[in-house]
Every structure is written in C-alpha cells, then in structure tokens.
Amino acid sequence: MRNKKKIGNKRLTTSRYIKFILYGLLPTVCCLLSCSADYQPKPKGYNRLILPKEEYRALPDTLPYQFEYSKAARLLKDTSWIAERHWVEIYYPELKANIHVTYKKLNGRESFLKELLNDAYNLTSKQQIKANAIDEIITKTPHGKTVVIAEIAGEVPSQFQFTMTDSSKNFLRGALYFNTKVQNDSLAPAIAFMKNETRHLINTVMWKAN
C-alpha cells in the first residue's frame, strides 16, 4: 500500500512529497552555504594624495622673524585661547596639515630660556605614549642657526617638532600636525612631504633686528 501525506486539501504520494520538501528547502540551503563561506571585506581605500609644488614665498614684515613657506599653504593667525601676538599657523588645505609656530622674545633672560626649553622637551615627551620612536638631533641651518629637531614615529598627533634660539633674544618653536583621523601609515607620503616642508622653513629662518 502506497504511503500518502496530506497537505492542505491535497494528497501527495511519498515521492512527490520528497520532491516538494527538497525543492522547498533548496533556496534556504543555498543561502546557508553562501553565508558560511569565508567573508573577506573589501579594504577601505584612501584618496590619492596630490602633493603641492615646492614653491615658496616670504613671511610678511610684520613678524619679528622671517622664513619661507609654501605658496600652496595659508598663513593664519593662531586663534587658540593661549595664542600670543606673533604665533602663526602654516596651513596646507589640500593635505589638512598644519605647522604651528610659536615665538617668544627672550630679552636676555637665561632663566626664561631654560623654562621654554623645558616646556618644549615636555611637549615632545608626551608623544612617547603612542610613539614607536623619537629621534632627536641638534644641528645648524645654512644661516648658522642652532636647531633641535625631533622626529616622532607611530600613531602620534605630531610627527615633527623643532626649537630654535639665539640664546639671548629670540625663541621659535614649531610642530607639525595633521587634522585627519586617517592612520599615519596611509599618510606616509604626506608626512614625508610635510617634514621636508618644515625643514625648508627651518633652513630659511632669519631673526629680525630687535
């Protein structure tokens, strides 16, 4: 006697019942198999960086120091709450990069110079939490200015910092920052470019007559 299954008001033979089940489950099985396969997300892409031309212009005469900065950058006043009169920002809009420049007049105060150097050292040391390495060198510019340069590697907010002084009248400090959440590995070409831009700034620094 042939087995029969009742579904709704219809009767199906066993063979037709099996076919009904298989055809009904086939889409679900395929879906489950495809979901169980290893999923490889598409890596996030980054826009191709277009680096500015290496063309420069001089700072305005209203500042007590002089250097050359990129024609692709904007010279902005520092608007932070601690900003002083001669503090500026060299902003690169295409790279979202910024060289923050601060200046202090020493007036022969040796103790004040020591304080400023100590503050600069502490600001650089704060990078150690996330830094892979901090390379610090003391060198001279083509104009004979002594400069301390710190290059910081790793996921740090500032990748390049410097201090310059003539020990008696002028003190200048600069720090490179990127205003972006993109990881530094992806910013490597821009970071290398901006380090060279900062070096050019350093090498063209001149003090105004006080």
Q: How far is residue 26 CA from its own chain's centroid?
A: 51
* Domain annotation covers residue 41: no
pLDDT computed for residue 130 by the predictor: 76
Task: Say whether both 30 and 102 belong to one domain.
Answer: no
Task: Say whether both 12 and 74 belong to one domain.
Answer: no
- How far from 18 is each of 4, 5, 7, 8, 22, CA to CA, in Å? 11, 10, 13, 16, 6
**Rounded Cα–Cα distance for residues 97 and 147 (Å):** 22
Task: Say whether both 20 and 113 belong to one domain.
Answer: no
Q: Quick one: which H or E segment has residue 100?
A: strand 97-105
Task: Say whether both 17 and 90 belong to one domain.
Answer: no
Assign residue 129 the CATH number of its domain. 3.40.1000.10
* Domain annotation covers residue 98: yes
pLDDT computed for residue 20 by the predictor: 47
Task: Say whether both 98 and 128 belong to one domain.
Answer: yes
**Rounded Cα–Cα distance for residues 76 and 31 (Å):** 58
- What range defines the domain where residue 32 resides? 4-36
Average of per-residue pLDDT values in the chain: 81
Q: How far apart are the first and last CA of the chain?
A: 116
pLDDT computed for residue 27 by the predictor: 54
pLDDT computed for residue 173 by the predictor: 97
In this structure, the number of other CB atoms found within 10 A of the CB of residue 141 comes to: 16
* Domain annotation covers residue 42: no
Tens digit of pLDDT for each residue in 96-152? 999 999 999 999 999 999 999 999 988 888 777 777 888 999 999 998 899 999 998
* Domain annotation covers residue 185: yes
* Domain annotation covers residue 45: no
- Full DSSP string of 114-137: HHHHHHHHHHHHGGGGTEEEEEEE
Task: Say whether both 19 and 85 belong to one domain.
Answer: no
* Domain annotation covers residue 120: yes
pLDDT computed for residue 15 by the predictor: 55
Task: Say whether both 142 and 174 belong to one domain.
Answer: yes
Task: Say whether both 75 and 138 belong to one domain.
Answer: yes
Task: Say whether both 30 and 126 belong to one domain.
Answer: no
Q: How many domains does the chain have?
A: 2
Task: Say whether both 112 and 79 belong to one domain.
Answer: yes
Q: Which alpha helices (DSSP H) does 3-108 contain, by range?
A: 14-36
* Domain annotation covers residue 51: no
Task: Say whether both 60 and 145 belong to one domain.
Answer: yes
Low-confidence stretches of the chain (pLDDT < 50) are: 1-10, 12, 17-18, 20-22, 29, 31-33, 35-39, 41-46
List the structure tokens of 178. Answer: 């990127």
pLDDT computed for residue 187 by the predictor: 81
Task: Say whether both 32 and 67 belong to one domain.
Answer: no
* Domain annotation covers residue 48: no
Query: What DSSP state is assigned to residue 63?
Result: S
